[in-house]
Structure 1
């Protein structure tokens, strides 16, 4: 259960890192690992001893190629010590602007979507509209099921 609590913090960290890179359409992937694995295997000189042992660290990887997201994710595999992953990608969000006399008016907004999953399938997601700039929990109307399934399939 501690992993589930730590997942949102890791998704936020990855989302902030990707946001600092700007808007460019790249699919950014982050490996999630625990503090001890990170210290023992990846970067043993980093001063992370103050983090709780159950914290999940988001490790940025080389961005995925510009191709179809499902195809790019199908190429991803993880070693056993990776506990989960986060994907940050750009999406188009269709919004209802209001009603016209004969129908509805829709708009499209550009947004970044950050989806984190653990090996057990537990997931969390955030959305950041280019217009608004703040990360928010994904609304229930935005289905991330396909992205979650593709990410879980990498394990």
Structure 2
């Protein structure tokens, strides 16, 4: 199986792909597989010679339905050659805007949340605020445990 660092790279790749669809979109799912497995079942349009064998490729799937996210995830199953998955969704987060004389000021911002889970349960959650390009590890205040559990349950 691919290295753990490969999961972070795959989550970022999936997040960037989903961001290309813009905002206010559907929940986006990606299957994670290795280069050799992908080459064995698909004819890629882009050359994969530069992709290391231990990398994880994020393969975009049809967006999930508009229903309840938990209900939609309960319908998902994976073949054995899928090593993991990524879900990219939109969330609203509270951010600190700065300090005022009498305390902190907070604001509400939209963000893309990308959560990747491998079959063995290892996971990575990243967040990208709207109008920013940088993906960051999710802060502890944004618990993704329920989402990680739901994604792990698809295997």
Pairwise same-fold verdict (TM > 0.5): yes
1:113 positional shift: 0.1
Distance in 2, matches of 1:52 and 1:150, equals 30
Residue by residue over 1:3-62, the C-alpha shift from the partner in whole angstroms, topping out at 9 and shown as x without a partner, is 312101101100110111100231000000000000011226752133221110000000
Distance in 2, matches of 1:53 and 1:133, equals 27
Alignment of 1:67 with 2:83, yes or no, is no
Q: Residue 147 of structure 1 aligns with which residue?
A: 147
1:133 positional shift: 4.3
Structure 2 gaps of 5+ residues are none
Structure 1 gaps of 5+ residues are none
Distance in 2, matches of 1:44 and 1:104, equals 50
Q: Residue 29 of structure 1 aligns with which residue?
A: 29
Residue by residue over 1:98-117, the C-alpha shift from the partner in whole angstroms, topping out at 9 and shown as x without a partner, is 7897x987543211100111
Q: Residue 92 of structure 2 aligns with which residue?
A: 92
Distance 1:14 1:44, change over 3 A: closer
Distance 1:2 1:108, change over 3 A: same
Distance 1:108 1:32, change over 3 A: same
Distance 1:75 1:105, change over 3 A: same
1:130 positional shift: 1.4
Distance in 2, matches of 1:71 and 1:105, equals 36
